[in-house]
Amino acid sequence: MDFPAKNMHFLIKHWAPYPRRCHSPCPLESTDFITGKTEWIERTFSTCNFSFILRGGGEFHHAGRRWPVVAPCVITQWPGEPVRYGARPPHGAWDELYLIYDAARMAWLQRRGFVVKSRPAWPVARPEIIWQLAEELRVLTGSAHPEQEADRVDLVCERLVLESLLPAAEPEDEAVRHIVARLRDRLGEPVDFAALARRHGMSLPTLRRRWLATLRVTPGRWLLDQRIRAASRMLAETRQPVGAIAAATGFGDALYFSRRFKLETTLTPTEYRRRHQMVRSQLTAEARRRGGIFHH
């Protein structure tokens, strides 16, 4: 399915001069949309750039490595780092939406998780969302009063990058999807990933490779994240003992659970419960005072 490029005409491309009322931590500098791009780019940029390749494909060269470019995907260019990229057969050209940020925003982009030096290019899991946001950006660039739209442009572009990095709601890989569903229903049970791999007709290394390609984390890291999130919800939403929560989320040993939970969240389970149940009780009391919906 091709990106609908025929209406993508950007009238305002340079946003740096426009005032921001909300003082975005990462204001956009410039943006543009290019259709049918055929030339190869070989240069070192002084800015932070995200290039959304929405149709076509080619190659991206960085730090001695080559990444295939197949739309929809994102390639990046960081200050002071030489890159080379462009369309290749069977793709004669590509359509590209690019966002440019000042080099001073690099630290914020890294803290946000938008810059990972080992991952200068990545596929887009949900292109329909990217297309919707690109259309929203196109409308904003055509505004007769761009000084009123700069904050909105910043937010739309930040979400473009964010949505490009997020996985699909459900894994596209059928085997990974089945294993994910099974594990979510059995977080408290021991997990043998090698046995799960064999059950789906693959080796453990193959499962790890497919899992990483689909969910962008290793199977072990994904499982730990799921267990920590489930435990966090139970600590905040129930009065179950910490040991029972540890057992229900697959940790078994309450002492190990407490150590691991603190490592992941910076709080012990008891501290986490105290902080988040206190906030919830305050919200509930305020809602009752105002005649709100919290009555239990």
Residues 279 and 293 occupy one common structural domain? yes
Host domain of residue 199? 169-216
Predicted local confidence at residue 12, as pLDDT: 74
pLDDT tens for each residue of 246-257: 999 999 889 999
Q: What percent of the chain has a predicted confidence (pLDDT) above 90?
A: 69
* Res 281 pLDDT > 80: no
Q: Are 114 and 189 in the same domain?
A: no
Best CA proximity match to 157, nearest among 52, 34, 4: 52
pLDDT tens digits, residue range 36-52?
A: 999 999 999 999 999 99
What is the tally of structural domains in the chain? 3
CATH of the domain at 118: 2.60.120.280
Question: Do 130 and 143 reside in the same domain of the chain?
Answer: yes
Task: Indicate whether 197 belongs to any domain.
Answer: yes
Give the pLDDT confidence score for residue 179 in this predicted structure.
Answer: 93
Q: Are residues 182 and 250 in the same domain?
A: no
